[in-house]
Amino acid sequence: MIDLPTKLLQSLLDKYGDEEQILQTMGECGELIAVMQNYLRAQKFRVKTESWKDVVEEAVDVYFMIQQVRHANPKMFDAVCRQKLKNVYIKLEVENYI
């Protein structure tokens, strides 16, 4: 995966601020949801409206925004990630998937 440089992340936060970056993240998530819905409909009805590349492009936009969210408080972000990961492992173990 490609991580955005720290200097760029800080510059984006300095320029736009936390609130604007949250709004931008919401917008990018909405675009990802929409393109995924259209992709699945296209697959189901065999029409070419959205491609897998369209899904990936929107996912990358969200990925870049998530990096900015993490940059605002990396310690908290990483702690929550570790806990969520632990929860996933526990769930899979209980369900005998690992």
Q: Domain locations in the chain?
A: 6-73
pLDDT band, residue 72 (cuts 50/70/90): very high
**Cβ-based burial of 67 (10 A; exposed 0-12, middle 13-18, buried ≥19):** buried
Residues 54-83, mean pLDDT to the nearest whole number: 97
pTM of the model: 0.89
Cα 74 from Cα 79, distance rounded (Å): 8
What's the confidence (pLDDT) of residue 26? 98
| pLDDT in the model for residue 1 | 86
- Inform me whether the pLDDT recorded for 47 exceeds 90: no
